[in-house]
Amino acid sequence: MPAAIRQECDKHFYVSPFMPVAGRYHFRIDPPSDHIGVVLNYSDADGVLRHAAFRGSRVPLDDRALIRAFFSYPLMTLTVTAGIHWEALKLWRKHVPLVDRPPPPIHPVTVVRVSEP
């Protein structure tokens, strides 16, 4: 299997009122196969602040798979939104300082140029 694809880029967009628009994202993505793996680390000068990972298996994209996915994850958007707000409430109760939203970037699209090893 080919080596994982690794890229990184500086953070230039506003995500949360609890996180400054600073830091760096590090991505690792497995090449397409019967399985997929994606890892995202967000770091600043002190080290990794957030770590997220996903691993999945390829399934046929047919009506049966779509129906199964629909009923396996009912109200997923509502659940995720509620979870984000619940975590924000916990941070707010701990008096974590809020970060002002900066003005939007002049160029809203990030282009990461890949350098050859």
Q: Is residue 82 part of a domain?
A: yes
pLDDT at 31: 87
User: Range of 80's domain?
Assistant: 60-98
Does one domain contain both 3 and 51?
yes
The number of distinct structural domains making up the chain is 2
Q: What is the block-wise mean pLDDT of the chain (117 residues), using blocks of 10 residues?
A: 86 85 92 91 92 92 90 88 95 94 78 63
Closest of 39, 14, 10 to residue 110, by C-alpha? 10
| d(C-alpha 21, C-alpha 58), whole Å | 35
pLDDT at 112: 67
| d(C-alpha 8, C-alpha 67), whole Å | 36
